[in-house]
């Protein structure tokens, strides 16, 4: 290499930082979507910076590896419908545009949830609590306005999110307290009316580790089916750790949910490598640059992470006739809501040991 070319390369690396190495390394990587094309769709949760062009290296990873995408935050009620008389469409529009442009199936997340919904949704202009009929009307307006805007463009919707408690009973949310147990079936009805061709999902956490919660999800599915209400799938969030879920509990969840006659999806996959840090669901409170754990990137931790991912994907591949989609909750470590080192790509956009461990499961080489 000539001296001036060497100097130019050094300058570019100093100016562009990780982008040069990231852009240079992706060509040789096998694509996740190709590795699992005979098994299930592979996706990621895309944040606003990615879809609006502010994180091009993350976008490059997503385009190469994913054939489906979920909006991490911008389709949640508080972001897309912050006040009863106001909708904020631009971020969600940009997400759907990005997914379509890059041949990814967009997933809408989520329509009805106990979190990230403005308190004003349940109150009138004077601050008084609304009646069942008034809250139902607001739910219907929200669902049909949002789903209707993206009719024919969004593949499927997380219609109801986290309606169950750990014991398997219904969560005591505002929806349940004001409307009653039928709020779930009403939400699915409204979504189906807005887009009859969209797939409709129920989504929840700990289905992979809690038998009671998993069985309750099956009961929920069968209850909707018995009333002729469309439900196409159940999403297992699978926010795991280095020691959980066990292969047996994940196997039980996939088998039991699949036996109910719906698709099963892993919708929010990551593996916690730290024991501290914010644990809530509101991503606006997350400091994505702080791992809160100096051991998260240690070689031993990364090896354990790779082993856990391989274990999980071995079970998923076993159930490939039932599992229709696997979505990572984030694209690379710096975009994770839990900090640490929970994903397949590090904070410099580079594939980790866990990435190759996952690829190996698709190739039947898991160890």
Vertex 155, ends 154 and 160: CA angle to 5°? 85
Catalytic residue among 72, 100, 133, 162: 162
Extended strands (E) in the chain = 41-46, 68-71, 105-113, 156-161, 199-204, 233-236, 239-241, 263-272, 323-328
Q: Beta partners for 70? A: 45, 107
Count of other CB atoms within 10 angstroms of residue 165:
14
Catalytic residue status for 366: no
Catalytic residue status for 268: yes
Q: Is 191 helix (H, G, I), strand (E, B) or coil?
A: helix
- Which residue in 277, 248, 281 sits closest to 109, CA to CA? 281
Catalytic residue among 72, 199, 268, 311: 268
Q: Enter the tokens of residue 103.
A: 């041949």
Q: Terminus-to-terminus CA distance in the chain, angstroms? A: 41
Whether 67 contacts 42, CB under 8 Å: yes
Per the rule left: phi > 0, alpha: psi between -120 and 50, beta: everything else, 261 is left
Annotated catalytic sites, by residue? 162, 268
């Amino acid at each position: 290499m000539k001296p001036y070319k060497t100097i130019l390369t050094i300058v570019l690396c100093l100016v562009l930082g990780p982008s040069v190495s990231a852009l240079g390394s992706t060509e040789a990587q096998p694509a996740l979507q190709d590795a699992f094309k005979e098994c299930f769709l592979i996706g990621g949760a895309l944040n606003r910076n990615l879809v609006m062009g502010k994180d091009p290296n993350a976008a490059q990873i997503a385009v190469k590896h994913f054939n489906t995408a979920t909006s991490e935050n911008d389709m949640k009620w508080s972001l897309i419908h912050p006040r009863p008389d106001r909708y904020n469409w631009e971020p969600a529009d940009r997400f759907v545009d990005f997914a379509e442009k890059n041949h990814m199936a967009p997933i809408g997340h989520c329509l009805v949830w106990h979190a990230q919904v403005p308190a004003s949704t349940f109150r009138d202009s004077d601050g008084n609590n609304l009646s069942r009929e008034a809250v139902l009307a607001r739910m219907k307006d929200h669902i049909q306005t949002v789903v209707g805007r993206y009719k024919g463009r969004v593949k499927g919707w997380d219609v109801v999110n986290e309606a169950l408690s750990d014991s398997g009973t219904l969560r005591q949310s505002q929806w349940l307290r004001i409307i009653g147990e039928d709020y779930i079936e009403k939400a699915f009805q409204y979504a189906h009316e807005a887009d009859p061709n969209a797939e409709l999902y129920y989504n929840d956490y700990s289905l992979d580790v809690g038998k009671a919660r998993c069985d309750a999800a099956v009961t929920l599915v069968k209850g909707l089916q018995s009333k002729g209400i469309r439900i196409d799938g159940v999403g297992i969030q699978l926010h795991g750790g280095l020691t959980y879920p066990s292969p047996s509990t994940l196997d039980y969840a996939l088998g039991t949910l699949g036996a109910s006659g719906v698709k099963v999806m892993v919708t929010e996959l990551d593996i916690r490598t730290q024991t501290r840090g914010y644990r809530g669901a509101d991503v606006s409170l997350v400091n994505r640059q702080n791992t809160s754990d100096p051991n998260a990137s240690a070689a031993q931790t990364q090896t354990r992470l790779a082993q856990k991912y391989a274990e999980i994907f071995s079970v998923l591949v076993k159930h490939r006739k039932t599992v229709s989609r696997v979505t990572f909750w984030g694209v690379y470590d710096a975009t994770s809501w839990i900090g640490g080192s929970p994903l397949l790509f590090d904070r410099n956009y580079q594939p980790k040991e866990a990435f190759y461990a996952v690829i190996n499961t698709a190739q039947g080489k898991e160890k």
